[in-house]
Amino acid sequence: MAVTEKNILKNWFLNGLKPPQEQFWAWQESYFHKYDVIPPTAIEGLSELLNSKADKEAFDSHLQNFNTHLEDFNAHVEDLNAHYELIELSRIIPYGQVQVFKTSPEGDQKVKAIGDYCVGWIEGSLVSGNWNGGDEMLKSSYE
Mean pLDDT value across the chain: 82
Sheet strand arrangement including 98-101:
98-101, 117-122, 125-130
pLDDT at 125: 85
Q: Which of 111, 91, 107, 110 is nearest to 99 (CA)?
A: 91
Residue among 110, 114, 106, 112 nearest 133 (CA): 114
pLDDT at 37: 92
The model's pLDDT over 85-142, given as tens digits with 9 standing for 90+, comes to 555 656 677 777 888 888 888 878 778 889 999 888 888 888 889 999 989 889 999 9
Q: Are 136 and 112 in contact (CB under 8 A)?
A: yes
Asked if residues 86 and 79 have their Cβ atoms less than 8 Å apart, the reply is yes
Apex 10 CA angle, 8 and 16, nearest 5: 120
What's at 116, amino acid-wise?
A: D
Tell which wins on pLDDT, 121 or 1: 121
Residue 75 clears pLDDT 60, i.e. is over it: yes
Distance CA 12, CA 20 (A): 9
